[in-house]
Amino acid sequence: MVEPRPPKQTVKFVDEYCLWYKKLFSDVRNFEAFKYLHIGCISELKRKSLPEIAKIVGLDNYQGLHHFLTTTSWQVEELRTMRLELILQVLKGRPIILIIDETGDKKKGNTTDYVKRQYIGNLGKVENGVVAVTAYGVFCGMTFPLLERSIQASGEIKARR
């Protein structure tokens, strides 16, 4: 059996953070894409699109990143579970501040998932749009996401990936 090549190194703190999640990715290319997306998210890019992220991390094109997000074997629920377990390990039972954020965005048309006529709080009226509810934790000045849900006009809650 051939030993897989080691993943390409990126920014040291991103590599160290992503290493906690490495076992979720069976392919070294998937793990590298995971790291590249983290670099893109923390970069100063105005538009954090896959083509722009691919450029700043030195990829020839964005297809590998697109493939990573759409058709690979890793499971988002496993990643979420592991992220929450790591947060709990760091907290060690210490209390956090919980922030619940309900955000609505007006949308035209209905091609975007979850677009319905519904009350958009920041507009103060019923409009065609998307509403998301996000739970954040704050600990020692550090903010971290806990959970995000999209709410349809019917009041039904759908998980967002």
Domain chopping of the chain, boundaries: 12-74, 94-159
Q: Where does residue 148 fall: left (phi above 0), alpha (psi -120 to 50 degrees), or beta otherwise?
A: beta
* pLDDT for 137: 92
In this predicted structure, the answer to whether residue 19 has a pLDDT above a threshold of 80 is yes
Q: Contact, 94 vs 126, CB < 8 A?
A: no
The whole-chain average pLDDT of the chain stands at 86
Model confidence over 20-53: pLDDT tens digits?
999 999 899 999 999 999 999 999 999 899 999 9
* pLDDT for 25: 93
**Picking from 16-20, 38-42, 121-125, which range would have the lowest pLDDT averaged per residue?**
121-125
Model confidence over 70-90: pLDDT tens digits?
988 888 889 989 998 998 898
Question: Residue 147 pairs with which residues in a beta bridge?
Answer: 135
Confidence of residue 105 (pLDDT cuts 50, 70, 90): confident
Query: What pTM was computed for the model?
Result: 0.72
